[in-house]
A and B are shown apart, each in its own frame.
Chain A
């Protein structure tokens, strides 16, 4: 099953890095990339430019607007993503642990919708009590 991992961190600390630090960073990312490929889990993944390069299309009932900046100001900003094909959540969590996001940061794991999955399962959907 595929999982989208979005990577969040403090972009101001990325922007103030020295060239040596950036080079060392790149190596860590290349390493994890290689590991994911070797394990056969990497479906895709990219780093994204900081929020200063973001543009948002705001959709409201009364129209659309194009706005400079990210959709929301957040304490940690989106810096990149992976799509990994893992057996289960716990495997995705193990990969998330190894992704070199510096603290403070977060990696959100979201299952990708599987439109080909078999239909609804189980009567528990009704939430029947006393069952």
Chain B
């Protein structure tokens, strides 16, 4: 009946122990022999199940541990040593499982796949090392305690699981992108790390247009990295950036990825619509392709924002759309749109954008108020200097 003799013996022992415990209280069953056999079989099944679960339970955690890089400088991320692409994909999706808190997903992704040590991840997100260590421990504990499955989601589930992976990578990229040289190189390296992870994902999921779109978006943003801040550490607006200093190779790679994404969209299912990351990449591409700020095709950018709004209707998208429309139709039109957006009162870029439009529309007193509000919310020192300068400009009028 049960193949494993040891197991059978153990199971029967268990059954006797239970019998000794139970029978005095519940009375002897009518057919004690049959009872022992049934109980023994059930206990054996329990043991087998538990052993199997233990093996599975430790499997994902073991993988997570294995792939964490050693602390020595120059140690390769465990990932490069891993010959099985499938495993890395399983890892990415497990790290970004919806049952984990958003910050946990990012921490886990960076630690396990991103080649960063715990102190490095902590510095990147401006928390203490012990806070980050705790965050990682809690995340792993949740994976174990709730038993999160270690797998690549099925095709059916992929549309709802992929976005959180993309979002985690994009958050990592943005953390690094918004860093200034003052805050240390580690944050600049975050963008590089995010791009590397996005490239890994593109390699592992070559048929997904949004994955290509995300990588394109990151490359196009990153191409402007060196021109965003001038020698004095002041913010340089897109319109004032030295386009010759934009990284041509990254732009070319980004545009090529956009082409690839479009080809994928035309595949078997007919013509599918671009998703939010591809649309954002298309917008970034418009800037990359314009030889000067004046050549920027704001009409096309506004149209792209219309489409982005259709698939991803958030207040932040509405804000960016308003800014683009203002470039096409003038600041007053943009202001009408902005004033209709709700929920962004605590969002610094909202007030900065509004202030900018008010300034361009000649409404200097209102602009001053808006810059003040933006300054209340701004934390980045480079942005603060910029906003302060603008406020003084309009206060003078």
A104 within 8 Å of B by Cβ? no
Mark out the residues of chain A between 44 and 70 whose CB falls within 8 Å of any chain B CB in the assembled complex.
none
Q: How far does the Cβ of A128 sit from chain B's closest Cβ, in whole Å?
A: 7
- Tell me if B129 and A129 are in contact (CB < 8 A): yes
- Tell me if A121 and B144 are in contact (CB < 8 A): yes
One digit per residue, 1 when the CB lies within 8 angstroms of any chain B CB and 0 when it does not, for chain A 71-112 equals 000000000000000011111010000000000000001010
Total interface residues in chain A, CB < 8 Å: 21
A13 within 8 Å of B by Cβ? no
- Tell me if B61 and A127 are in contact (CB < 8 A): no
Residue of A nearest to B99 (CB): A89
A89 to B144, CA, bound (A): 10
Across chains A and B, the number of contacting residue pairs, with CB separation under 8 Å, is 57
Residue of A nearest to B134 (CB): A127
A1 to B147, CA, bound (A): 8
Provide the residues of chain A in CB contact with B54, threshold 8 Å: 118
A15 within 8 Å of B by Cβ? no
B231 within 8 Å of A by Cβ? no
- Tell me if B140 and A124 are in contact (CB < 8 A): yes
- Tell me if A131 and B118 are in contact (CB < 8 A): yes
B133 within 8 Å of A by Cβ? yes
- Tell me if A130 and B53 are in contact (CB < 8 A): no
- Tell me if B58 and A111 are in contact (CB < 8 A): no
Provide the residues of chain B in CB contact with A87, threshold 8 Å: 53, 147, 149
Mark out the residues of chain B between 114 and 168 whose CB falls within 8 Å of any chain A CB in the assembled complex.
117-119, 129-130, 132-134, 136-137, 140, 144-149, 151
Q: How far does the Cβ of B150 sit from chain A's closest Cβ, in whole Å?
A: 9
Is the contact region of chain B dominated by helix, strand, or loop, or is it mixed? helix
Is the contact region of chain A dominated by helix, strand, or loop, or is it mixed? loop
- Given A111-B146, A111-B147, A121-B144, the answer on whether A130 and B117 have CB atoms closer than 8 Å is yes
- Tell me if A88 and B136 are in contact (CB < 8 A): no
Please indicate which of the listed interface residues A109, A121, A127 has the most CB atoms of chain B within 10 Å of its own CB: A127
- Tell me if A130 and B130 are in contact (CB < 8 A): no
A20 within 8 Å of B by Cβ? no
A-to-B contact residues, CB < 8 Å: 1, 87-91, 93, 109, 111, 116-118, 121-122, 124-125, 127-131
B-to-A contact residues, CB < 8 Å: 50, 53-54, 56-58, 61, 65, 68, 71, 99, 117-119, 129-130, 132-134, 136-137, 140, 144-149, 151
Query: What would be 16 A-B contacts, judged by CB atoms less than 8 Å apart?
Result: A1-B53, A88-B149, A89-B147, A90-B151, A91-B149, A111-B145, A122-B65, A124-B140, A127-B137, A128-B133, A129-B118, A129-B129, A129-B130, A129-B132, A129-B133, A130-B71
Additional pairs, 18, CB under 8 Å, beyond known A87-B53, A87-B149, A109-B146: A88-B147, A88-B148, A89-B147, A90-B148, A91-B149, A116-B50, A117-B50, A121-B57, A121-B61, A122-B61, A124-B61, A124-B136, A124-B140, A128-B133, A129-B132, A130-B71, A130-B117, A131-B118
